[in-house]
Structure 1
Amino acid sequence: MRIALFCCIILVVSALGVVSAEAETRYVSDQIAVTLRRGPGTEYKILKSLPTGAALEFLEEEEKYLKVRTKDGAEGYVLKQYISAQLPKVYVIARLQKQLDQSKARMATMAKEAEGWNNEKSELQRQLAEVQEALKLEKGQHGRLVKQHQTLREGAKNVTDLLNERDQLKAENEKYAADLAQLRQDNDAILRKAIVKWFLAGAGVLFVGWLMGKRSRTRKRAF
């Protein structure tokens, strides 16, 4: 009897999975609050609710549940189907949106700077033309005018570099916008699947309740 019990314990431990050697972070990935329970089943006490994106330290894996530890040190079990090793798309979207907003703000700043540089470039070009004319008229001051001419050319080159950087930033901004649109579509698809899943689950519960009620009435009539 003891040998049989020992064998059963070994089989159960093997089925429950192996404890991870290193701590692994996973995230609540659904659009609902997931319950953290004391044990791997709905009959166990609920310790707390975990919002979407909550970071959890992965401890053990069972058939339908994962044993995890929250940031505040609470340990318990959550349904495996609502946990992902990747950061939820809503948070990726928020991060991209923040990057996009920062990029737009930087573009606005760059546009103002570029406008100022354009004005300065026009002024530099005007001064350059004056210097070139002065070079023809004042050969005796050739050395000083050549140095000024070089300085003005370097200033004009800085303006060109700034305009090129602005164009590159605009291209990156368009790419961020396209990625954000795609992620929003993916997030909408996930949300629709979650709604259908919970609707079907609710319909199943109502159907089972109806069958149990019908069976109960049939037994009462039989007595």
Structure 2
Amino acid sequence: MRIVVFCCFMLMVSALAAVSAEAETRYVSDQISVTLRRGPGTEYKILKSLPTGAAVEFLEEEENYLKVRTKGGSEGYVLKQYISAQLPKAYVVARLEKQLVQLQQRMADVAKGAEAWKGEKVELQRQLADVQQAFNRGKAKHSSLAKQYQTLQDGAKNVAELLNERDRLKAENEKYATDLAQLRQDNDDILRKAIVKWFLAGAGVLFLGWLIGKQSRTRKRAF
């Protein structure tokens, strides 16, 4: 379980690192509103205010200011102390909470599927029992006829008829054996799939719950 959680964490870190390398997108820091000015100083005209979490494209750095471009195409300067290369924690937590809800829904769907699988398993077990009984009856009948065949063979009577009956029962017996093997295979396949679904859903929920808790604690310490 720990190995699965660690692997998922490393994949998410790698994905975030790849996104950071491809784009120079930065964000307005937590719980503030930043002014976008025409030049790098308070004497320049304010173009607009940027709310927390607003994504801007980093263009260049000039002393205490960064030149940026907004999604609307406006270019200007903001104090670099209010701009971060990381998405604000509140947005990260909200995104993770949304993913957690989605995983919980998937778990609920898997649980419903498991209930349906239980019913299907009961039906397969019933069919398996029927085939097993038929197989046993055929086997007993085949054994009885084999004895009769031996008796008739010894008496040299109705040999051809007995041979035909023996062959028919042998073919029937082989069919029962084939059906039994197929039902056993189907039952094993269903069981394996259900176990894998439960394991993956549980691991995902455990990881996201842990990550949200960690993000929440980090945010509390920051405040």
Q: Please, which of 156, 159, 182 is the counterpart of residue 214 of structure 2?
A: 182
Runs (5+) with no aligned partner, structure 1: 1-21, 193-223
Tell me which residue corresponds to 1:99.
99
1:23 positional shift: 6.7
Q: How many residues align?
A: 170
Tell me which residue corresponds to 1:196.
none
AA partner of residue 38 (structure 1): R
Whether the aligned pair in 1 keeps the contact of 2:38 and 2:77 (CA below 8 Å) is: yes
Highest CA radius of gyration, 1 or 2? 2
Residue 146 (str. 1) matches residue 177 (str. 2): yes
Tell me which residue corresponds to 1:168.
200
1:73 positional shift: 0.9
Whether the aligned pair in 1 keeps the contact of 2:64 and 2:79 (CA below 8 Å) is: yes
SS of 1:172's equivalent in the other structure is helix
Higher relative contact order (CA 8 A, sep 6+): 2
Matches within 5 A, 1:1-223: 24-139=24-139, 140=169, 141-164=172-195, 165-190=197-222, 192=223
Partner Cα separation in structure 1 for residue 75 and residue 174 of structure 2: 79
Superposed CA RMSD in Å reads 1.8
Among the aligned pairs, what percent are the same residue? 56
1:150 positional shift: 2.8
Whether the aligned pair in 2 keeps the contact of 1:114 and 1:159 (CA below 8 Å) is: no
AA partner of residue 142 (structure 1): N
Q: TM-score, normalised by structure 2?
A: 0.70
Q: TM-score, normalised by structure 1?
A: 0.70
Partner Cα separation in structure 1 for residue 100 and residue 35 of structure 2: 34
Runs (5+) with no aligned partner, structure 2: 1-21, 140-168
AA partner of residue 169 (structure 1): A
Q: Deviations over 1:92-146 (max 9, x none)?
A: 2122112111111111011001011012112212221221121111242223222
